Amino acid sequence: MRADASRRHIVRSLALLIGALSLAVVILSAYLRLDAAGLGCANWPQCYGQILSGNPPPLHYGLPRLLHRLIASTALILALILVWRCLRPTPLQAATRYAVLLLLLMLALSVLGFFSADPRRALIGFLNILGGLGLVSFSWRVAMAAEPSTFNATVRHPPPGILLRIGVGALTLVVLLGAWIGATYSAVACPSLPLCNGVWWPAPEGWAALNPLAQPSAAPVAGDAGGVMLHLLHRGFAMTVVLVLGFAALSALRHVATRVAALSVLLLLLTVSGLGVAAVNSDLSLWLVLGHGATAALLLAAVASLLRR
């Protein structure tokens, strides 16, 4: 029994460390991508997306890129150790499943890295953004699954309700749309709140912006139909998430087992929404956009706690 508790403690500690490293990778990756895109550049917004014209520029190996590679490599090594600790001497069931998925995701992102030099490959950038968010979420799921068996036996988590399920579905769409906005360099297409320069409903021609095989050659300008459509959908589903997921989290406060997770979700919902509004009002400040993305990664992990059974 003592050996099992010690092993679970090691697995949980490793998963939390990998989660922290993964969050750092998400922030550094977003910084490199957004800085290269020209977010917050001096000649704003004309300078945004100039990286899309001509041949892809050579990678600049400054401190952020070196840190990104060092932290990502360290996380990968730790993930290998994590899988081994989950499997030996006997598998830890759920923890092993999530640890293997975490390792596979890391390997997949490593392969994607060979194809991400060209910023015009929107689908590659999109998958990289989603993969980074998934690393944080999977790490946290391993940590939860590795909690002592005595704790799991005594603490009963209520089954997810309909509001929570709808909220999670809407949050998934928000994340997908936000990642696609970043991957297609559509950030400046809608520089106002809450509508896009008075437009509240996307034009039919804007749906072409959802083409997963798109290879943008220039950043969409303010008022671009496709960019406006992406922003309006992102904001509409975001408001749905705040309302529906917020109510679900308030309901979860009644249960002792989900109280901490519910408070975390409520706090992160307010934070990520506030950072999103502040980013638009600041003409997309690089640091506010980075904070918005990092908070979204933490929100996904907190929602995973509410979904726990």
User: Under DSSP, is residue 199 helix (H, G, I), strand (E, B) or coil?
Assistant: strand
Does 93 have pLDDT greater than 70?
yes
- Determine the Cα–Cα distance for residues 119 and 55; give it in Å rounded to an integer: 10
- Determine the Cα–Cα distance for residues 260 and 253; give it in Å rounded to an integer: 8
- Determine the Cα–Cα distance for residues 39 and 56; give it in Å rounded to an integer: 17
Nearest partner of 187 among 40, 27, 6, 18, judged by Cα: 40
Determine contact, residues 126/180, Cβ cutoff 8 Å. yes
- Determine the Cα–Cα distance for residues 114 and 182; give it in Å rounded to an integer: 19
Query: Amino acid identity of 2?
Result: R
Number of domains composing the chain: 1
Determine contact, residues 265/253, Cβ cutoff 8 Å. no
Look up tokens 């904070």; give the residue: 291
pLDDT digits (tens, 9 = 90+) for 114-129: 888 778 888 999 999 9
Q: Cα torsion at 146, 151, 153, 156 (round to 10°)?
A: -100
Q: What Å distances lie between residue 128 and 103, 111, 154, 308, CA to CA?
A: 15, 10, 39, 26
Q: How many CB atoms lie within 10 A of CB 54?
A: 8
Task: Give me the pLDDT at residue 56, please.
Answer: 64
What average pLDDT score do residues 92-117 get?
Answer: 90
Look up tokens 């002592």; give the residue: 148
Domain of 27, in residue numbers: 2-307
pLDDT digits (tens, 9 = 90+) for 136-195: 999 999 999 988 754 454 556 666 788 899 999 999 999 999 999 999 999 888 888 888
